[in-house]
Amino acid sequence: MTPIAQLLQERIAILDGAMGTMIQQRRLDEAAFRGERFRDWPKDLKGHNDLLNVTQPSIIEDIHRQYLEAGADIVETNTFNSQAISLADYQMQNLGYELSKAGAECAQRAVAQVRTAQPARRYFVAGAIGPTTRTSSISTDVNNPGARGTTYDELVAAYADQTRGLLDGGADLLLVETIFDTLNAKAAFFAIEQLFANGVRQVPIMASVTFIQAGSNRGVTGQTVEAFWNSISHVPLLSVGMNCALGPKEMRPLIEELSRIAPVYVSAHPNAGLPNPLLPTGFPETPDTLAPQLREWADSGWLNIVGGCCGTTPAHIKLLAEAVRGVTPRTIPRIEPYTRLSGLEALTIRPDSNFVNIGERTNVTGSPAFAKLILQGKYEDALSVARQQVEGGAQIIDVNMDEGMLDSQAAMEKFLRLIASEPDICKVPLMVDSSKWDVLETGLKNIQGKPVVNSISLKEGEHKFIEQATLIRRYGAAVVVMAFDEKGQADSLERKQEICARSYRILTETIGFRPTDIIFDPNVLTVATGIDEHNNYAVNFIEATRWIKQHLPGARVSGGISNVSFSFRGNNVVREAMHSAFLYHAIKAGLDMGIVNAGQLAVYEEIP
């Protein structure tokens, strides 16, 4: 067990308070921010707080020391904006590593000082990783809903640079905080996990999200608490929590919910209330009013880590530490291992859930009408196809841009970004459908929820399979695995069993993929083609489904239902009846979900 996990087993840990307000109190002028080194820098630097890690390190060290003396167990480094994307505003995009490293060193020096006086205490430096000043999920241009301030790849590069600096400076933990754009946060976790995989020193990872609209229970990008949690639940987190934007009164119901659903430690560091410029301190909550409210959260069993964000001071932290002393920390709840996806809202697939409809129509190979719209660049009209699928009952949308005449990667990116601006569509999780890995990866870099990748298989051997599945987990997606291997596509029951069992073993044992994030597709093949061997294809799929559900625990089963009736193209009455009869038996055998023409399914009992 790591030292921090040990502490959290024993008691509630105390996080520090605001850095910004403490720096403001020093009333530093432009020259103080610049120091000797940046005296002639072409940009104004007053207010560039992270720069003080190198120009006024003793001030930063002193603030950390005050928080440690007030009783904080964990101090956050002064590195909120110490990455290339935010630093570009000061033409300092090359200083991400250096400011991050210097920030961790300031905090460690403060720890070293306090440790001399109180050697029995435990102290932790959390490398603070902010959201950057750009968003990858929301449009930056009112005239172009597909415009983005930054990209996943830029974010990963910037976060990796910052993380290396924090670790080289001695950070004990990494805290991805003030998350307002879940896609940005996923890029941060991707960068961190990639560094860990490449051999850098591994430390516990913490996450903290910022919600603004407490009344509607949504974050800045429109996600619910549960949708947010599902989006980042692939990360091996020490803790998840909330900070900033809200005071304790507004944050309370959100923390209560997060505490109920997250099977990791929970943190909270609210602002000292909502900012109010008429007040002398700018914030309404004093140490005396804040501490009892957070004590009540602790008494309710919601907290493992608690501190303050904007407007809080060492005085707040001191009273807070006293208020929660001796309170039993939250016990981590046991969460049922269901399949959990998300768009703006969460989708949970339980063993007893109804069949999940996946909309098939946003597919250029499956719908000539959709293909025409995309090829003609009529994306607005193409969006209405997605909307119709959701209105028709689709709980997931399958998006496929595999068409020879298209730049499939560009089309995937553009369409997903447009979907992200339509809350009535992106409330549901997305399924990125392509036979090309590059297109799947582009999809993953443009979705803030927890999506499904459709699909991978053992077609090109184990090495490729493992490589792709490893990345899919790191991107935070579930995956459709086709019953396909080096020898070809499985059509018999035995071959379907053999390939699915082998894939399951590799995914769960070699990669540590969660069984509930695996969705097998044992191939819905076309019947009644005129070739006798094809006549049992539907039955083989149904029997394979039954076998998978009995023998591969946790895994789900899906299929492309409309494939079964391709022999009857043009006769929709027959096709719809076939789909309905097929589903009637497949669902009984355990089929969890299927790619269907949502809204066009006949009712089995009503078929003449």
Interacting residues toward ligand THG by CB under 6 A: 360, 363, 366-369, 433, 454-455, 480, 521, 524, 559-560, 562-563, 569, 595
C-beta of 192 vs 371, nearer to ligand THG: 371
C-beta of 5 vs 369, nearer to ligand THG: 369
DSSP string, 320-331: HHHHHTTPPPPP
Q: What's the min distance (Å) between Cβ of 269 and ligand THG? A: 43
Strand pairing partners for 593? Answer: 356
C-beta of 147 vs 375, nearer to ligand THG: 375
Block residue for tokens 């974010």:
155
Block residue for tokens 């569509």:
425
DSSP string, 133-145: S--SSS-SBTTBT
CA 119 – CA 389 distance, rounded (Å): 62
C-beta of 94 vs 571, nearer to ligand THG: 571
Question: 303 in helix, strand or coil?
Answer: coil
Q: What's the min distance (Å) between Cβ of 372 and ligand THG? A: 10
Q: Which helix (H) or strand (E) holds 14?
A: strand 13-14
Q: What's the min distance (Å) between Cβ of 213 and ligand THG? A: 36
Residue nearest ligand THG, CB atom distance: 560
C-beta of 357 vs 367, nearer to ligand THG: 367
Q: Which two three-digit tokens encode residue 447?
A: 């979705």
Strand pairing partners for 237? Answer: 205
Q: What's the min distance (Å) between Cβ of 484 and ligand THG? A: 10
Q: What's the min distance (Å) between Cβ of 360 and ligand THG? A: 4
Q: What's the min distance (Å) between Cβ of 537 and ligand THG? A: 12
Q: What's the min distance (Å) between Cβ of 559 and ligand THG? A: 6
Report the relative pairing of strands 396-400 and 356-359 from DSSP bridges. parallel
Q: Which two three-digit tokens encode residue 434?
A: 């392509």
C-beta of 235 vs 525, nearer to ligand THG: 525
Dihedral pair phi/psi, residue 3, rounded to 5°: -55, -35
Q: What's the min distance (Å) between Cβ of 387 and ligand THG? A: 16
C-beta of 128 vs 595, nearer to ligand THG: 595
Are the beta carbons of 268 and 294 closer than 8 angstroms? yes
C-beta of 50 vs 360, nearer to ligand THG: 360
Are the beta carbons of 109 and 77 closer than 8 angstroms? no
C-beta of 361 vs 445, nearer to ligand THG: 361
C-beta of 254 vs 480, nearer to ligand THG: 480
Q: What's the min distance (Å) between Cβ of 565 and ligand THG? A: 7
Helix axes 182-197, 462-475, angle to 10 degrees: 130
* Close Cβ partners of 49 (under 8 Å, ≥ 6 residues apart): 19, 20, 23, 78, 80, 81
CA 192 – CA 204 distance, rounded (Å): 11
The DSSP letter of residue 416 is H
Sign for the CA dihedral angle at 470, 440, 480, 457 comes to negative
Q: What's the min distance (Å) between Cβ of 24 and ligand THG? A: 55
CA 339 – CA 341 distance, rounded (Å): 7
Report the relative pairing of strands 339-342 and 74-76 from DSSP bridges. unpaired
CA 342 – CA 440 distance, rounded (Å): 17
